[in-house]
Amino acid sequence: MNPSKQSMLGRLSRSGLTAALVASALLTACTTRRPITVEPTPSFVFRSLDLSQRTDDGNRDWDLSSPEARYDLSSRTIRARRPEGVLYRDDQPHYRITADLATVLRDGELVVLEGSVQLRQLNQRGLTIEGDNLIWTPSQSRMVINQRPTANDGQTQIRSRELAFQQDTEVLVFSGPTQLNRVDETSAASTVVRGGSGTWNLKSGLMQAPGPVEAVRSDGRTLNASGLDGNTRKGYLDLQQPVMLVLEGERGRITAGRTRWLFSAKQLLSDQPVQADLKNSKVQGGGFKLDESTGTVIISRDCRVEQKSETLTARRCAWNWRSERVVADGDVVLQRTKPAQITRASRMEAKLSDDGEIRFGQSGARVESRIKLSPAAQEKPRRPQVSF
């Protein structure tokens, strides 16, 4: 019989496939007696191939099918074209896997997928893991992609040197250097986060990257931290201290402690001490909130602004870097040295000049000012001597 015309239909387990082929070989050996000669290892071509594997409790573990496959008897190797498979969780389809080529070694102990490999989660999130080469060890529930690997859940994309996916725990281990990309849903702005190695739990959304990270936005803003952890499903990442944010256009630099990045809400939050260095001003306080949508930075408490000839303290301060408007609220005290003057108010506004200096004034609010004159200015002028 011509091997190329053989077909194997239906679903076969690995052991069933081997047993059928071995039985065929033994039958041929018994019917004829010839001198022992070394012949090429027989291989068989199937028009259709379906493999399946079950867990110890009888639930479905994975399926793999191909419209055309070749089986090598001596090496127990299957080579299949256009393979498609399903990974199950609790006996339900959970991931679909496709590739251009598949090599199944030792009757399924190891599976190598090549060319346009895609592993897609079968739920609303539709997380997709892709690459050019995937090494799958079914007994360990482990898949490793080491050629152009990416993982994308529609909001966050990870590119790394290597991705290892643990099927039973749904933990993705990425080995650096790693690049995380995010695109703003409401604008064309994007953010690229570069770091080292880490983990991403696809089931819970927990992510950890304990190495120096740098985030660069397309508008020129940069963010550096010593590491990050957070939850992508809940929409936040916690940046580990020290955290440094450099605003676009060299407008200033913000240094803070542990900071939460709410990337869905486009906000940065911290309750740790913070310092903002502008061109000719320094702002300090206890915690801050940065809102990208409004272009505002708010010093949450104990705001202090220092400049060459004046110092301002307030309960809180806000700066809009788009309008260059600064507002100080609550027990505002402005101290000037030239002339020596103290001004108090419940609210005070200012504009940030081109040279980076904050010029305070007031917007219709009642203020109390005290001016200390120099001794020469306090001296009463003498009356001119009168003569007739």
Contact of 199 with 211, CB cutoff 8 Å: no
- The closest of 256, 245, 252 to 288, measured between CA atoms, is 256
What are the φ/ψ torsions at residue 38 (nearest 5 degrees)? -85, 115
Domains observed in the chain = 280-374 (2.60.450.10)
CB atoms near residue 187 (< 10 Å): 12
Phi-psi region for residue 107, left (φ > 0), alpha (ψ -120 to 50) or beta?
A: left
**Residue by residue, what is the 3-state secondary structure of the chain?**
CCHHHCCCCCCECHHHHHHHHHHHHHHHHHHCCCCCCCCCCCEEEECCEEEEEECCCCCEEEEEEECEEEEECCCCEEEEECCEEEEEECCEEEEEEECCEEEEEHHHCEEEEEEEEEEEECCCCCCEEEEEEEEEEHHHCEEEEEECCEEECCCEEEEEEEEEEECCCCEEEEEEEEEEEEECCCCCCEEEEEECCEEEECCCCEEEECCCEEEEECCCCEEEECCEEEECCCCEEEECCCEEEECHHHCCEEEECCEEEECCCCEEEEEEEEEEECCCCEEEEEEEEEECCCCEEEECCCEEEECCCEEEEECEEEEECCCCEEEEEEEEEEEEECCEEEEEEEEEEEEECCCCCEEEECCCCCCEEEEECCHHHHCCCCCCCCCC
Contact of 86 with 96, CB cutoff 8 Å: yes
> Which positions ≥6 away from 197 have C-beta within 8 Å?
173, 174, 175, 176, 178, 209, 211
Taking only the tens of pLDDT, the chain with its 388 residues reads 444 333 333 333 433 333 333 323 333 333 344 454 445 555 667 777 888 888 888 899 899 999 988 888 888 899 999 999 999 988 999 999 999 999 999 878 899 999 999 999 987 677 899 999 999 998 899 999 999 999 988 778 899 999 999 988 989 999 989 998 887 666 666 889 999 999 999 888 899 998 899 999 887 889 999 999 999 888 899 999 999 999 877 778 899 999 999 987 889 999 999 998 887 889 999 999 999 888 899 999 999 999 888 999 999 999 888 888 899 999 999 998 877 889 999 999 998 777 667 887 654 444 444 444 455 545 555 555 544 2
What are the φ/ψ torsions at residue 237 (nearest 5 degrees)? -135, 135
The whole-number pLDDT of residue 160 equals 94
The whole-number pLDDT of residue 22 equals 32
The whole-number pLDDT of residue 260 equals 95
**Residue by residue, what is the 3-state secondary structure of 182-208?**
EECCCCCCEEEEEECCEEEECCCCEEE
The whole-number pLDDT of residue 39 equals 52
The whole-number pLDDT of residue 374 equals 52
